[in-house]
């Protein structure tokens, strides 16, 4: 896959990449505001999942004397309110999208573009998150007023959170992108995708805070990428991490971003050789 302006000096190539990402993000921002009603309804749909978890776990805590696994109702409320924000910030191009691209022959056009398709996916979804953030703010305020979360946040934790949500976004982008490349060998992979999502639900802190899981599950999850996309960003705001633990978490995110890039690149080189457009 060719890169844009490969003949330019290094500085020129960097400027071209920056210009591409900024232009793509601006286009998505404009699009989201243009169709803001549809975007807001989509956002509400994404928020529904964590809000359900929020109601369930705070209810369980109240029925159990005010705590579950050492977490108070206020701490659980804080966890899932931040969850609603993280859920929308790390939304990425679905692996099902690769199935649609290949099955409908759409990928043929993407392969003629100067950049790899994943760059368009990453830049586009990144731009969408700016209006989503603005649309989310009133929802977050309402949830805070309804559930009375407990927050004790330091400046360092806010700074790490601002970085960690983008690290989570890149990890999920490359992981789900690599998973989507399986479609080059078979166009019916719904069962595999569903299994992946189920594993992510259990090992990311998405369904249940990892502190409520058995110790062996927490140990297993530490060595996998999933918890660095949900649990770690959430805990930077609602947990009690030391500065060392915050830096270690960012380091793990960097590791999984680089691993994701390597895996995606390796699979892509073999997968694209199997490409055959299929159309109705």
Measure the CA–CA gap between 258 and 174, rounded to whole angstroms.
Answer: 9
Q: What is the pLDDT of residue 207?
A: 85
Question: Rounded CA gap, 117 and 112, in Å?
Answer: 10
* Beta-bridge mates of residue 71: 68
Residues with Cβ within 8 Å of residue 244, at least 6 apart in sequence: none
Q: What is the pLDDT of residues 22-45, one digit of tens each?
A: 888 888 888 877 777 777 777 777
pLDDT for the residue 100: 83
pLDDT > 60? residue 279: no
| Statement: residue 2 has pLDDT above 80 | no
Supply the pLDDT for residue 219: 94
Tally the domains of the chain. 1
Q: What is the mean pLDDT of residues 237-251?
A: 94
68 bridge partner residues:
71
Report phi then psi at 98, rounded to 5. Answer: -65, -35
Arithmetic mean of pLDDT over the chain: 86
Average pLDDT (208-222) is: 92
Our measurement of the distance from residue 164's CA atom to the centroid of its chain's CA atoms, rounded to an integer in Å, reads 10
Q: Which of 246, 279, 98 is nearest to 164 (CA)?
A: 246
100, part of any domain: yes
CA separation, residue 226 to residues 95, 135, 181, 223 (Å)? 16, 26, 19, 9
- Please count the other Cβ atoms lying within 10 Å of the Cβ belonging to residue 207: 16
**pLDDT tens sequence across 87-104:** 888 889 988 888 888 877
Q: What's the domain range around 261?
A: 12-274
Whether 276 shows a pLDDT value over 80: the answer reads no
**Residue 170 domain flag:** yes
Measured between alpha carbons, how far is 2 from 120 in angstroms, rounded to an integer?
Answer: 14
Reported confidence tier of residue 7, pLDDT bands at 50, 70, 90: very low
Average pLDDT over residues 139-159: 89
pLDDT in tens, 173-206: 999 999 999 888 876 777 888 889 999 999 999 8
Reduce the secondary structure of 178-198 to three states and give it as a string: HHHHHHHCCCCCHHHHHHHHH
Whether residue 102 is contained in a domain is answered as: yes
Q: Is residue 279 part of a domain?
A: no
263 pLDDT more than 90: yes
In a domain, 94, yes or no: yes
**Is residue 3 situated within a structural domain?**
no
* Residue 265 structure tokens: 């690149």
Stated pTM of the model: 0.87
Q: Looking at the domain assignment, is residue 269 inside a domain?
A: yes
Predicted pLDDT at 3: 42
Spatial separation of the C-alpha atoms in residues 76 and 93, rounded to whole Å: 29
What DSSP string runs through the chain?
---TTTTS-HHHHHHHHHHHHHHHHHHHHHHHHHTHHHHHHHHHHHHHHHHHHHHHHHHHHHHTTSEETTEEHHHHHHHHHHHHHHHHHT----HHHHHHHHHTTTHHHHHTSSS-HHHHHHHHHHHHHHHHHHHHHHHHHHHHHHH-------HHHHHHHHHHHHHHHHHHHHHHHHHHGGGGT-S--HHHHHHHHHHHHHHSSSSS-GGGS-HHHHHHHHTSSGGGTTHHHHHHHHS---HHHHHHHHHHHHHHHHHHHHHHHHHHHHHGGG------
Q: 113-133: per-residue pLDDT in tens? A: 888 899 999 999 998 888 888
pLDDT-above-90 percentage for the chain: 37
Tokens of residue 98, six digits: 């690769």
Q: Averaged over 254-279, what is the pLDDT?
A: 86
Could you tell me what percent of the chain has a pLDDT over 70?
Answer: 94
Residue 48 falls inside a structural domain: yes
């Amino acid at each position: 896959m060719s890169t844009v302006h490969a003949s330019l000096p290094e500085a020129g190539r960097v400027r071209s990449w920056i210009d591409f990402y900024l232009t793509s993000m601006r286009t998505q921002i404009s699009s989201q505001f243009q169709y803001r009603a549809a975007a807001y309804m989509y956002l509400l749909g994404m928020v529904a999942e964590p809000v359900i978890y929020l109601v369930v776990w705070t209810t369980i805590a109240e029925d159990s004397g005010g705590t579950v696994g050492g977490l108070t109702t206020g701490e659980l409320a804080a966890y899932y309110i931040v969850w609603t924000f993280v859920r929308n910030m790390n939304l990425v191009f679905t692996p099902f999208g690769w199935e649609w691209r290949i099955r409908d022959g759409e990928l043929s056009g993407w392969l003629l573009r100067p950049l790899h398709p994943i760059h368009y996916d990453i830049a586009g979804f990144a731009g969408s998150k700016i209006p989503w953030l603005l649309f989310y703010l009133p929802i977050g305020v309402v949830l805070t007023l309804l559930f009375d979360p407990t927050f004790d946040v330091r400046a360092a934790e806010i700074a790490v959170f601002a970085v960690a949500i983008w690290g989570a976004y890149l990890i999920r982008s490359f992981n789900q992108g690599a998973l989507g490349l399986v479609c080059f060998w078979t166009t019916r992979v719904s069962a595999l995708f569903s299994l992946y999502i189920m594993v992510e639900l259990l090992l990311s802190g998405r369904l249940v805070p990892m502190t409520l899981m058995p110790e062996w599950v927490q140990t297993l999850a530490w060595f996998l990428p999933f918890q660095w996309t949900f649990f770690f960003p959430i805990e930077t705001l609602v947990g009690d991490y030391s500065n060392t633990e915050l830096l270690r978490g960012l380091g793990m995110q960097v590791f999984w971003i680089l691993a994701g890039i390597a895996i995606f690149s390796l699979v892509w080189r073999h997968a694209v050789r199997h490409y055959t457009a299929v159309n109705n």
